[in-house]
Amino acid sequence: MQNSLFARGLALTSIGAILVGAAVAAPAVADPAADQYGQLRIFGSDTTQDVMQGLANAVNTAADENLLANYLAVGSLTVQIDAGGTMAPRANGSSAGRDFLRVAIGQTATANVARPGGAGNTIAVGSDAIGKIDVARSSSGPGANAAANGVLAYVPFAKDALTMAVKDGSPLAVVPWYIGKGEDTTSKPNLAAVYKGSVKYAYVAGSVGSYTYVGVGPDATLPVDAPEGTVAYQLRPVLPQAGSGTRSYFIVDVLGLADNNTSIPAEIRSASIVIDGTTYSVQEHDGTVMGLDQTVIGPFSIGQYVAFANNAPGVTDRRNGAVLLPLKATEGATAAEPYVTVGDGPLVKANPAFTAATRNVFNIVPSRLLDDPSTLIHEVFYGSTSLLCEQTATIELYGFLPIGSECGDDSIRAYAPTADNTSTVTWTPPTAIEVGASTSVEVVVDSKVHRQGGTVRILNGDTVVGQAAVAPHVATATATVQVPVTVTTDATSASLRAVFIPTLPGIVGSQTAVASVPVSAPTASFVSTKSTATIGGVMTVVGWVTGAEGGTVELWDGATRLQAYTLDEGENGFGFRVTAAKLSYAFQVRYVPPTGSNLAPSSSVERPVTVAKATPTIKASAATVSAGTRGKVKVTVAAINGVTPTGRVEVYRGSTRVGSGTLSRGAVTITLSSIPRGTHTLSVRYLGDTKFNAVRTTARFVVR
């Protein structure tokens, strides 16, 4: 009998040669060896602990490095996870692994994590969970926690099937069980009715090896037509421990009952059973309680059972005398065997034709890391060609069914963001930015749960133009950082936003609104000329602009614009010609960029120039006059390059001043006082002004 063969725990020594084409060494230790701590730590479901152990070994071998460290759901209460001696709680079950992961990545602050041995070993975890788990095994989907924008991703990798297990040789093995989802009856072998307590007895005639099914009922009263020797066996249905993915799947999805529905009797919900005076906890996929009592019946993973039967590497056989039963979904369906022989045996594999209760099994990972192609999470779990999904032979060896293109599907998300796990970021955007120059921007963040900080990036569109790390800020609600920003663009403005990426992948990132910030490309203006000049002299003042692309270069004297020149393409400067018309200048070159350009205006430093007074040319002439007539002297003090002398002119005969006048436009006619007859040489003296030196000349003056 096939079930009896499995119950004896037959050792299968040709697993590798038959199924994966290689000899198999002795089973490996359950948890990773002390010197083989992986980069990704995996806890959770009992259902998938063994197949994930096999897959971890296969992936690590293929990658030639310890990428995955898979920790079983059963065993010691804590496990060492690194060479430094860090200890982590052994999460026992899908919910325990999931909640351990949720706390570790900051999706929630605290959780109670179930460990082996029942409720008394549950432990609360908080910030001490950070870094201790990266992946959670789960034998069930997200259920009511499903959310399209969830921070966790449930990534399927295989299909499992669930059936019922009883003790080898149990009279319950001949009962034609069917699921009967949502049904409630007292007279049919309906599992939903069994777990609601409506069907409590199975009526079976005969003895071991020749049992015959008679019927079921709510009490020990045998049917009136029951054959002689019929026995009413009181059913003892059990459920695995609370938090088990199998428990949730079996109650809700298989039986169609509400999870932990109070219509399920308390003794069944308790996940414990008393046998011969001893209380036993019911661990999922462990046949201990079935092997001790022939009336115990409970759900069991076909995948786990096949792995036990195949003596798959790293697996501890926990059948303990239990065997699996054929099962059908409805009363009228045909029951399918849970497993089939591979070739001539003795290997077995899950029966693809068994469809009464099947489910995908999952690895739960942070959504952000799954979506990021640069992460190890993405490489191992994302898509049907991922490192994990490529190991189909290992999946079958451990009793599960490959799921083809469904493997690595990234569409199932859970745990929508909340205010508690959504970070915040605020900032003061710069008022302006110069291309190529570093501008410091202040950013304030709250990294929320566990406050482990993260990274702030300043983006111009989708281009990172600044980045700074945010250290953990456990003692303060927020952290403030200065982010150096450097922009390179031809545009006149930058569309800047601050983005915060939390360290913990369970914290939702945040970003500010986009700020339009004026951007200017740097230019530099220079001025060059001699430091001295003379009134009326022409100075060459060179204005030069580095970085100019068109635009106007202007020459200023203090607050007065003197000249301007429009630069052609390729020009960077211009030589201005300035006639010295005052005694000092403060030359400055200013650059005005062309309209629509992102070039920055610029100004040179002032260049002082000292101007010396000029010595003008003076001419004087006087016409001959008759005695008694007052003569006149015409005086011209010549302008120099348009700079015209001003001031007084005096005329002397000897030491006597005989006339004076004020220049107008550089000339003056002076009427002389009375001068006696004779020929006189007059001294004509220009007294100078602020720009011109004093000069003199003579004029011949005749009085007849």
Domains in the chain, please, with CATH?
29-158+360-414 (3.40.190.10), 160-350 (3.40.190.10), 420-519 (2.60.40.10), 524-612 (2.60.40.10), 618-703 (2.60.40.10)
- Asked if residue 346 has a cis previous peptide bond (ω within 30° of 0), the answer is yes
Across residues 139-164, what is the average pLDDT?
96
Q: What is the DSSP secondary-structure string of 554-588?
A: EEEETTEEEEEEEPPTT--EEEEEEE--SSEEEEE
Contacts for 190-194 with beta carbons within 8 Å, 24 or more apart? 190/331, 191/164, 191/254, 191/255, 192/255, 192/256, 192/257, 194/235, 194/237, 194/297
**Which 3-state string (H, E, C) describes 604-664?**
CCCEEEEEECECCCEEEEECCECCCCCCEEEEEECCECCECCCCEEEEEECCEEEEEEECE
Residue pLDDT, tens place only, 394-440: 999 999 999 999 999 999 999 999 999 999 999 999 999 988 889 99
Cα separation of 81 and 42, whole Å? 10
Residue type (1 letter), 219 = D
Query: By C-alpha distance, which of 409, 401, 359 is closest to 384?
Result: 409
pLDDT reported for residue 265: 92
Q: Are 699 and 621 in contact (CB under 8 A)?
A: yes
Place of tokens 């059948």: 319
Pick from 155, 47, 150: which is nearest to 96 by CA? 47
pLDDT band for position 25 (cuts 50, 70, 90):
very low
CB atoms within 10 A of CB 140: 24
Backbone angles phi, psi at 427, to 5 degrees: -160, 170
> What is the percent of the chain with per-residue pLDDT over 90, rounded to a whole number?
86
- Mean pLDDT confidence for 382-405: 96
> Are the C-beta atoms of 135 and 101 separated by less than 8 Å?
yes
Beta bridge pairs of residue 528: 542
Largest CA distance in the chain: 182
Q: What is the DSSP pairing of strand 607-612 with strand 532-534? A: parallel
**What would the pLDDT profile of 618-651 be if each residue is shown by its tens digit?**
999 999 999 999 999 999 999 999 999 999 999 9
* 8-state DSSP, 450: G
Pairing outcome for strands 454-460 and 433-434: unpaired
Res 394: pLDDT: 94
Look at residue 11 in the predicted model and tell me its pLDDT. Answer: 27
Query: Per the structure block, which two tokens stand in for 544?
Result: 């030069």
Contact 510, 492 (CB under 8 A): no
Average pLDDT over the chain, rounded to whole? Answer: 92
User: Hey, how many other C-beta atoms are within 10 angstroms of the C-beta on 23?
Assistant: 10
Give the count of beta carbons closer than 10 Å to the beta carbon of residue 679.
10
pLDDT > 70? residue 26: no
Q: CB burial class (10 A; 0-12, 13-18, 19+) of residue 285?
A: buried
CA distances from residue 197 to 178, 207, 236, 319 in whole angstroms, order as listed: 16, 26, 10, 26
Whether 8 shows a pLDDT value over 50: the answer reads: no
Give the relative orientation of helices 49-63 and 302-309 as an angle to the nearest 10 degrees: 60
- Considering the entire predicted model, what is its pTM? 0.75
Q: Quickly state the pLDDT bin for 27 (edges 50, 70, 90).
A: very low
Q: Give the Cα-Cα-Cα angle 703, 684, 678 (nearest 5 degrees).
A: 15
Say what the pLDDT of residue 260 is: 65
For residues 246 and 161, the answer to whether their CB atoms sit within 8 Å is no
Which tokens in the block code for residue 313?
């590497």
> Looking at 4-8, 324-328, 376-380, 469-473, which range is the least confident one?
4-8
Number of residues in the chain: 704
Tell me: the pLDDT tens digits for 496-544? 999 999 999 999 999 999 999 999 888 899 999 999 999 999 999 999 9
- Which residue reads 């220079």 in tokens? 526
The contacts of residue 274 (CB under 8 Å, 6+ apart) are 280
Q: How would you class 218 by CB atoms within 10 Å of its CB: exposed for 0-12, middle for 13-18, buried for 19 or more? A: middle
Distance, CA of 496 to CA of 515 (rounded, Å): 5
- Using DSSP's 3-state secondary structure scheme, residue 128 falls into helix
* Phi then psi dihedrals of residue 168, to 5 deg: -60, 125
Per DSSP, 194 falls in state H
Please classify residue 28 by burial: count the beta carbons closer than 10 Å to its beta carbon, then call 0-12 exposed, 13-18 middle and 19+ buried: middle
| Contact status, residue 669 vs residue 633, Cβ threshold 8 Å | yes
- pLDDT digit string, tens, across residues 559-602: 999 999 999 999 999 999 999 999 999 999 999 999 988 898 99
123-125 and 111-113: which strand pairing? Answer: antiparallel
How far is 693 from 614, CA to CA, in rounded Å?
6
554: confidence class by pLDDT, cuts 50, 70, 90: very high
Going by C-alpha positions, the residue among 11, 288, 262, 294 that lies closest to residue 171 is 294
Phi/psi of residue 302, each to 5°?
-65, -40
What is the model's pLDDT at position 506?
97
Total Cβ atoms within 10 A of residue 356: 22
Please check whether residue 553 is in contact with residue 571, taking contact to mean a CB–CB distance below 8 angstroms: no
CA neighbor of 323 nearest in space, from 359, 348, 345: 348
Nearest to 645 by CA among 628, 669, 665, 661: 665
Is the Cα torsion angle 241, 245, 251, 255 positive or negative in sign? negative
CB 388 within 8 A of CB 361: no
